[in-house]
Amino acid sequence: MPRPMTITEKILAAHAGLDEVTPGQLVECDLDLVLANDVTAPIAIKEFRKVGIDSVWDPDKIALVPDHYTPNKDIKSAEQAKLMRDFAHEQKISHYYEIGCMGVEHALLPEQGVVGPGDAIIGADSHTCTYGALGAFATGVGSTDAAAGMATGKAWFKVPASIKFNIEGELGPWVSGKDLILHVIGMIGVDGALYQSMEFTGSTISGLGMDDRMTICNMAIEAGGKSGIIAVDDTTRAYLEGRAERPWTEYYSDPEAEYVAVFEIDAADIKPTVAFPHLPSNTKAAEDSRDVWIDQVVIGSCTNGRLEDLRIAASVLKGRTVYEGMRLIIIPATQQIYRDAMHEGLFDIFLDAGAAVSTPTCGPCLGGHMGILAAGERAVATTNRNFVGRMGDPTSEVYLSSPAVAAATAIAGHIALPDDLV
Amino acid sequence: MKFQGTAHKYGRDIDTDVIIPARYLNTSVPEELAKHCMEDLDAGFIGKIEFGDILVAEENFGCGSSREHAPISIKAAGISVIIAKSFARIFYRNAINTGLPIMEAPDAVDGISNGDEVEVDADAGIIINKTTGQTFRAQPFPPFIKEIIEKGGLIERVKETVGGR
Ligand code: SF4
């Protein structure tokens, strides 16, 4: 009998060809997918060329997504995107997404059924941990790791210890997965889960849809985590139905599995939360933040640019118009989300409210383009990072929130809750 | 590997967005990236770095994005080694994989002030503060990681396994 293990340990053991693994152990794992984007792929490709082989390990198990500076913002980024495109064509990479079918990678790959339960995935993007929401082990790495993965189909990992966050009860009105994860990061800090896997369990998690679950796992990295993970259930299976490209394997943590820490959280204690500059852990209840005046609101990104997020934003914006001088930028994360939102009539609500609706892109989330802040300006964003200079000038400020609070803020002009609006 | 240089000390949670802001990520040329290294945290950084100088920081150095542009820009700026209380995990991997020496040494961080002259023997894991005369030990690397460092980075190791395929 192998030792009792967590989901994460079981996935790593299976991919390393071992019966069991122990936290701290260094293992080499076979990968199901290697991901890179227009910022990280150029360096990965350069490193790959140094290996001295002509072709990648498996052109069907590499995903290349031009989402950060695309549609190309300037000549330099056009060159980066071209380098990746040429490589994708040369290597016959099947999961390459050109403008027109592209989306923000961590919304796109789950939507397209490219990632699934039980997978071991590395991505040259820190928010690769998003796929933990589907019961996969997925972690962010750098370009050189991605290059090695593209060449060999393998990566080395230190088996992470796991922390359990058991959340029970019903979330209050206007409280979402985003508030839950901001609450957790505020509680444990930006290195509170350093090198560890964050496993989310409990009735609150079971009650959430996939979009909220992805928001939660997406921000595991913001607590320093190596990965976030949620066990597969009927909600996951329903999502995968007709979508998953490959058969999947479901793993569950053994009841006696070891956790370095277990946090019991009452869902009723979680309030609509805002992370103040300049750390995602710098959290405050939205109701105590009404004195912060805002110049721009961004609703989008791999954290909160999915259909459910846009529906919530629309429910707040419906029949209202943005505060005078407010810039509201809404960015559906994929073409499919864009189309669905359009068909549901959400675009009319957004446009009537005075919002700009953009084609899918990371855009302002990383301070790339499509909504950069001037010196001293403040934004509320449904994104995941509020570091110094993240969205523009180093003296600008980013406040992180849920789509509901972001939409209410766009109407009120200052940080607000939907129930504040008349 | 032995290094000697002036210590430049910073606080905790130094994130990759201040190490190299995303507005410069439309290139991956090391010299271009070096020009903007740490600019949002300390606009004078590049001006005061002499080749071989040492970066010292508190906990969680390099948190945030996976951009390898961060260790690349630090190395190209002339920094020889980073000594921190702890590193964010992707930055840790990236530094090892790209051959930027890093050391986890909490005592050394507490015992080094901005501007001190520091000598480092990375192989032996020894850090000497020449200004105060104190000696510190860094956490040793696990053998597997040591192997990557000794080979000169991850790609060199991969070459041995798949080279000539
Ligand atoms: S939306 Fe933001 S956090 Fe997500 S992948 Fe793009 S830049 Fe990174």
CB burial readout A133-158, b (16+ within 10 A) else e: bbbbbbbbbbbbbbbbbbbbbbbbbb
- How far is it, in rounded angstroms, from Cα B119 to Cα B41? 25
Residue A324 has pLDDT above 80, yes or no: yes
Of B27, B40, B158, the CB nearest to A148: B158
Q: CB-based contact (8 Å) between A125 and chain B?
A: yes
Rg (C-alpha) for chain B, rounded Å, is 15
Tell me what the mean pLDDT of segment A22-46 comes to.
96
The number of C-beta contacts closer than 8 angstroms across A and B is 149
Residue A61 has pLDDT above 90, yes or no: yes
**In chain A, which residues have their Cβ closer than 8 Å to the Cβ of B145?**
26
Q: CB-based contact (8 Å) between B94 and chain A?
A: yes
Residue A115 has pLDDT above 90, yes or no: yes
Instruction: Quote the DSSP letter at residue B128.
Output: E
Tell me what the mean pLDDT of segment B10-38 comes to.
95
As given in the structure block, the two tokens for residue A111 are: 């939507």
Taking the CA of residue A105 as reference, the ligand 1 atom at the shortest distance is 5
**In chain B, what percentage of residues exceed pLDDT 70?**
98
Report whether A189 contacts A223 (CB < 8 A). Answer: yes
Average pLDDT, chain A: 97
Residue A40 has pLDDT above 60, yes or no: yes
| Residue A341 distance to chain B (closest CA, Å) | 29
Contacting A residues, span 348-377, partner chain B, CB-CB under 8 Å: 366-368, 372
Whether B68 and A43 lie within 8 Å, measured CB to CB: yes
Residue A391 has pLDDT above 70, yes or no: yes
Tell me what the mean pLDDT of segment A82-96 comes to.
98
- Cα angle: A174, vertex A386, A193; to 5 degrees: 85
Q: CB-based contact (8 Å) between B146 and chain A?
A: no
- How far is it, in rounded angstroms, from Cα A277 to Cα A42? 31
Q: Is the CB of A306 under 6 A from ligand 1?
A: no
pLDDT on residue A408: 98
Residue B164 has pLDDT above 60, yes or no: no
**In chain A, what percentage of residues exceed pLDDT 70?**
100
Residue B163 has pLDDT above 70, yes or no: no
Q: Which residues pair with A304 in a beta bridge?
A: none
Long-range CB pairs of B148-154 (<8 Å, 24+ gap) are: B148/B96, B148/B97, B149/B96, B149/B99, B149/B101, B152/B99, B153/A144, B153/B96, B153/B97, B153/B98, B153/B99, B154/A144, B154/A145, B154/A148, B154/B96, B154/B97, B154/B98
> CA-nearest residue of chain A to B161?
A152
pLDDT on residue B149: 84
Residue B49 has pLDDT above 80, yes or no: yes
As given in the structure block, the two tokens for residue A328 are: 């509201």
Centre of ligand 1 to C-alpha B116, Å, is 38
**In chain B, which residues have their Cβ closer than 8 Å to the Cβ of A195?**
89
Residue B7 has pLDDT above 80, yes or no: yes
Among A126, A105, A123, CA closest to B63: A126
pLDDT digits (tens, 9 = 90+) for B32-48: 999 999 999 999 999 99
Of B22, B25, B162, the CB nearest to A51: B162
Taking the alpha carbons at both ends of chain B, their separation in whole angstroms is: 32
pLDDT digits (tens, 9 = 90+) for A65-85: 999 999 999 999 999 999 999
Probe target for ligand 1 pocket from A221, A329, A365, with the most ligand atoms within 8 Å of CB? A365
Centre of ligand 1 to C-alpha A73, Å, is 16
